[in-house]
Homo-oligomer: A and B are copies of this chain.
Amino acid sequence: MRSSQISPRKSPLHILVSNDDGIDAPGIFALVTSLKKIGNVTVVAPERQQSAVGHAITMNHPIRVKEYFHNGEFFGYAVDGTPADCVKIAIRSILKRKPDIVVSGINHGTNTAISVIYSGTVSAATEATLMKVPSLAISLATFTTPDFRYAAKFSMTMVKAVLGNGLPQGTLLNVNVPPISEQNIRGVKITRMGKSTWNDTFEARRDPANKEYFWLTGDLEVQDTEEDIDQVAVMNKFVSVTPIHYDLTNYDMLDELQKWKLKKSV
């Protein structure tokens, strides 16, 4: 079942853009500049940086929406919520009609392997998929000074590919671009989400009043080696494209669990 197919358009392509680095991040600016070449772009993004929020939504307090200006020009709507909030409120309340596609990014930092489940960038795209709008998340795989130019250009390729081919319902594409120039990129690889996790730890510190506090720190510990794993593909200088869905059932375990013969009472 396809949620979109290319067809002669009566109206111009309408693209909704969000991210998790915040509406003032260079990555979203690069993305919007690029996507404006192929369609009308509406930006609805978090007012503040929202990395590692996962698929959080705001239920316990109200949300405000402000107009955000960049160099004196209207750029988009800033929301004091999470990336998932942004996409939800954009589609439910801000936009007059559903967008043709949602693009989330360009994230400053890799969203591969286990990082996908913590990623606000991916969660914005997931929320779009839940609302039956095709979507993709795009990240630049570096934590140092970023150059978003190639990733921004490649986002146009991906938007056209998604609208041209269609995505199955409930599936989005998670794109990770190596932080190198276009001529050094070896190609595009279709990948699986890796199993690498973070070997993180909490640094215990003391505040000026000598009270203890903890700060999370750590690195992704690359445990995957196969070439068709997202993280490995990026390290090998390929753009990684992973089809992601949100059915978390471990189907392989269903039969095994039946054998446990669980009873309501012991």
Asked if A182 lies at the interface with its beta carbon under 8 angstroms from chain B, I say yes
Contacts of A55 in B (CB 8 A): 54-55, 117-118
Contacts of A263 in B (CB 8 A): 157, 187-188
Other-chain contact of A202, B63, B158, B160, B252 (Cβ < 8 Å): B63
Q: Known interface pairs A53-B56, A56-B52, A200-B88. Does A93 touch B214 (Cβ–Cβ under 8 Å)?
A: yes
Contacts of A167 in B (CB 8 A): 253
A214 and B63 contact, CB distance less than 8 A: yes
B161 and A246 contact, CB distance less than 8 A: no
Residues 69-124 (chain A) with a chain B CB within 8 angstroms: 84-85, 88-89, 92-93, 114, 116-118, 123
Surface stretch bound by B, among A23-31, A139-147, A190-198: A190-198
Contacts of A157 in B (CB 8 A): 262-263, 265-266
Asked if A176 lies at the interface with its beta carbon under 8 angstroms from chain B, I say no
The 7 closest A-B CB pairs, nearest first, are A54-B55, A54-B54, A243-B253, A62-B213, A188-B262, A245-B250, A243-B250
Name A's B-contacting residues (CB within 8 A). 49, 51-60, 62-65, 84-85, 88-89, 92-93, 114, 116-118, 123, 126, 130, 154, 156-158, 160-161, 165, 167-168, 170-171, 173, 182, 185-188, 190, 192-193, 195, 197, 200-202, 204-205, 211-216, 239, 241-254, 256-258, 260, 262-266
**What are 29 A-B contacts defined by CB distance under 8 Å?**
A51-B59, A51-B60, A52-B59, A54-B54, A55-B55, A56-B118, A62-B205, A62-B214, A63-B202, A63-B213, A63-B214, A63-B215, A85-B216, A88-B200, A92-B202, A93-B204, A117-B246, A117-B248, A168-B250, A168-B256, A187-B264, A188-B262, A193-B247, A195-B247, A243-B250, A243-B257, A244-B250, A245-B248, A246-B248
